[in-house]
Structure 1
Amino acid sequence: MKVKKFVASSMPEAMKRIRAELGNDAVILNSKIVYTGGFLGLFRKRCIEVIAAMDQVSNSRESRVKEKPINKMLYYEPVATQKENPMLKFIKAEENTSSEVIKELTEVKQLLQNISSTREDTVYPELLQHINQKLISQEIEASIRNELMVSLLEKWYTNRRDSTIDDVKRWCKEEMAERISMFRFGDISFSKKYVNVVGPTGVGKTTTLAKIAADSMLKFRKKVALITTDTYRIAAIEQLKTYAKILSVPLEVCYNLNDFKKACDTFKDFDVVLIDTAGRNFRDPRYVEELKNIIDYENEMETFLVLSLTSKQSDMEEIFKQFSSIDIKQFIFTKLDETATYGAMYNMIDKYQIGVAYLTNGQDVPDDKVSASAEVISKLILEDESDERSS
């Protein structure tokens, strides 16, 4: 028997190579997720390792007739149809006859019978159906969901004798967190002196900035100053003045780039300067150009894009595109307490490969703010409301 190890970026790619080198009758002996490359443990690439074998016997028609029939175990993974509904792609793998294989075949046969149905909850084993439906209800994009379910199926058929719904949830949380773990999460780094928050109107930029200011002072012991360029709304200036008075930090109002440079000179001895910007119609490209005419983005600047979790993902993407000419350091997602659907947040992270600094969940300063992490976001998506209340 010829045995060979294959490492590929995905199971379909691995199977393509196995067929090319060992033929269609190859046996899948084992498969697992591995990580390759990287530097000092960072930037590793997620791959799949497959051990395959081929019985080196004659492939002639005569020898095939003389062979005793053997059972076939079906190894499968979900793939998207044109409508992005997962179906099953089946790959034959030889396996010796045993009671365990017969049991497996019975279960797979049931899955085969369910394929004709278009309902997605009939495709996977029962405990995995629950997770798949949870990901659907959370509006996780189909391409991401299908890849997650492939990993869960692999774990299921390795560990299923002792698996519970809590096990499956844990697997999924780990897979989701691992998928986005290479991006930056958590508090602002203070690597740059100037921290700028941008975003459309109504997402809570001013309140979020006040929370960051309080955190910078109380948690990190930084000397903080505030700048606002939101001169379109008197109420916004007054709101930030109130926060500045409560926090005992100085505030400068800037109407143009010259004002901004003067404010920067005034605050030259401060550790961090937090900048509030006007919220305007994100569909108007002139908004970003106006920001550039007031703020010097070349001057030790980190910019955070503030998005509301109550927004549609299509709107979030449009907002991001409008600000794409500015280097976005991280996202800040607000109004966590006003929705129970968080999939768009995960989709944005995965699609644009940008991490999250904070999640905000109310108006209280500085309390209603959570330092974001890949684990926190994955848990938000997968925990049921009843789980959250009991925790």
Structure 2
Amino acid sequence: MKIKKFIAPTMPEAMKKVRQELGPDAVILNSKNVKTGGFLGMFKKMNIEVIAALDPAASRGKVKEPYINRKNRLPENYPPASDSDEVLKELKHLKTLMKEQKQQPLFHDSCQKLYEHLLNQELDKELAHEFTTLVEGNQLSLNSMTSSKRDMVNMLSEKLGKTVQFPELYSKQFVHLVGPTGVGKTTTIAKIAADAMLNRDLNVALITIDTYRIAAIDQLRTYAKILDIPFEVAYNFEEYIAAREKFAKYDLILVDTAGRNFKEIFHVQELKETMDFNQNTATHLVLSLTSKERDMKEIIRNFKEIPVYQLIFTKTDEASVFGPAINIARQHEMGIAYLTNGQDVPDDIVKCTSNKLASLLMEDFE
């Protein structure tokens, strides 16, 4: 394909140049206004820049020959790389627009709006389609938004309850919290400890093996003093086992771990060597809902050798989409134990339920 740029004072003159040089079979790929000429940056004139292309094989009515690598030589009059890249971007954009125009709505009116809302929430496409079909089949009146939205939340809650696990809390004596840096593990441990003490009347103890950050140790020690519960720091596996034995008579022992880049598999192996995963232990993987879904999935894949069955999602107050939490739980068959939505201890934490997830997913639907 021959591609060339033309500049002229007006579009008719530009088209005339195109026809003269490329012939009547030329195709206009892009056009825009540009300023040219002038003196010392002043008195520039407005012109029309047109990028046109001609397929010589098509203009002769012949089938285009297969591509043959001719030692990467560019044809004469081939536009500079910057212009060529601009043309390719424009072609990709036009191709996307054409695909969008060809796609027909899958549902009628407001149901299509619901389907698009679920996709914008990054909910799995198959689940979004199933739920919208369910709404359409039940003939909910989406015109009365207040009542219909409540009905949709209830329907979505029921559907999520069949596909997402919501485990019983405190079913194990020892609970490890693991996860990447910056997701809020230490604050989450303090919230769980406070909830267990104040609302469930459990005897709670804290252990930390996060010896990489002095601030994390001090933070958890401060929480322990405020809650008036025992606290131990374990610098190695032996001290960790000793702390477990020391707190053996407590109802709930929460273990804080170091935040690492668990996209690197060797950090997971390191963690595996510092803890005991027996039958009386539950491991909660803490993830932030502000993270990308593909990053969270990669972390979970790296944890395949550690028995993680519960998830905790933090920063729901900062997140704009909630579909990834549902997608991950369903795909990896993991339960969601908690959602946190702020820094306040012990207030900003809730037990995750299907109704809570459905409400978050539908919160901005109008």
Q: 1:209 aligns with which of 186, 189, 207?
A: 189
SS at match of 1:338: coil
Contact 1:200 1:282 in 2 (8 A): yes
Aligned-pair CA distance for 1:324: 1.9
SS at match of 1:135: helix
CA distance in 1, matches of 2:106, 2:279: 54
Aligned-pair CA distance for 1:349: 1.9
Contact 1:127 1:165 in 2 (8 A): no
1:352 matches 2:332: yes
The one-letter amino acid paired with 1:269 is K
How many residues align? The count is 267
1:184 matches 2:183: no
Q: Comparing both chains, which one has the higher relative contact order based on Cα–Cα distances under 8 Å and sequence gaps of 6 or more?
A: 2
1:154 matches 2:137: yes
SS at match of 1:316: helix
SS at match of 1:298: coil
Q: 1:321 aligns with which of 270, 278, 301?
A: 301
**Which residue does 1:131 correspond to in 2?**
114
CA distance in 2, matches of 1:147, 1:247: 46
Aligned-pair CA distance for 1:172: 3.6
Aligned-pair CA distance for 1:166: 4.3
The one-letter amino acid paired with 1:330 is Q
The one-letter amino acid paired with 2:166 is F
Aligned-pair CA distance for 1:239: 0.9
CA distance in 2, matches of 1:379, 1:173: 6
**Which residue does 1:232 correspond to in 2?**
212
1:339 matches 2:323: no
Contact 1:186 1:358 in 2 (8 A): no
Contact 1:196 1:303 in 2 (8 A): yes
The one-letter amino acid paired with 1:193 is Q
Contact 1:359 1:369 in 2 (8 A): yes
Contact 2:190 2:346 in 1 (8 A): yes
What is the TM-score normalised by the length of structure 2?
0.68
Aligned-pair CA distance for 1:174: 3.4
CA distance in 1, matches of 2:175, 2:153: 31
Contact 1:203 1:307 in 2 (8 A): yes
Q: Percent identity?
A: 43
Q: 1:144 aligns with which of 123, 127, 135?
A: 127
CA distance in 2, matches of 1:295, 1:368: 28
The one-letter amino acid paired with 2:360 is L
**Which residue does 2:364 correspond to in 1?**
384
**Which residue does 1:249 correspond to in 2?**
229
CA distance in 2, matches of 1:312, 1:256: 33
**Which residue does 2:346 correspond to in 1?**
366
**Residues 229-270 of structure 1, C-alpha deviation per residue, up to 9 Å, x if partnerless?**
111111111111111111111111112221111101111221
Which stretch has the larger CA shift, 222-231 or 343-352? 343-352
SS at match of 2:229: coil
**Which residue does 1:200 correspond to in 2?**
180
Aligned-pair CA distance for 1:185: 2.0
Q: 2:239 aligns with which of 259, 266, 288?
A: 259
**Residues 70-116 of structure 1, C-alpha deviation per residue, up to 9 Å, x if partnerless?**
xxxxxxxxxxxxxxxxxxxxxxxxxxxxxxxxxxxxxxxxxxxxx99
**Which residue does 1:46 correspond to in 2?**
none
CA distance in 1, matches of 2:278, 2:206: 18
Contact 1:131 1:168 in 2 (8 A): no
1:283 matches 2:263: yes
**Which residue does 2:281 correspond to in 1?**
301
The one-letter amino acid paired with 2:200 is F
Max Rg structure: 2
Aligned-pair CA distance for 1:228: 0.5
Aligned-pair CA distance for 1:218: 0.5
CA distance in 1, matches of 2:277, 2:236: 13
What is the TM-score normalised by the length of structure 1?
0.64
> Kindly tell me: are residues 250 and 137 of structure 1, through their superposed partners in 2, closer, same or farther at Cα, counting changes over 3 Å?
same
The one-letter amino acid paired with 1:276 is D
Q: 2:249 aligns with which of 261, 269, 273?
A: 269
Which stretch has the larger CA shift, 324-333 or 272-281? 324-333
| Alignment gaps of 5+ in structure 1 | 1-114
> Kindly tell me: are residues 355 and 180 of structure 1, through their superposed partners in 2, closer, same or farther at Cα, counting changes over 3 Å?
farther
CA distance in 1, matches of 2:287, 2:349: 14
SS at match of 1:283: coil
Contact 2:165 2:333 in 1 (8 A): no
Aligned-pair CA distance for 1:163: 6.4
Aligned-pair CA distance for 1:348: 1.2
| Alignment gaps of 5+ in structure 2 | 1-98
Which stretch has the larger CA shift, 318-327 or 227-236? 318-327
The one-letter amino acid paired with 1:185 is F
**Residues 13-51 of structure 1, C-alpha deviation per residue, up to 9 Å, x if partnerless?**
xxxxxxxxxxxxxxxxxxxxxxxxxxxxxxxxxxxxxxx
**Residues 261-305 of structure 1, C-alpha deviation per residue, up to 9 Å, x if partnerless?**
110111122111000011101121111221222111115100111
CA distance in 1, matches of 2:347, 2:116: 33
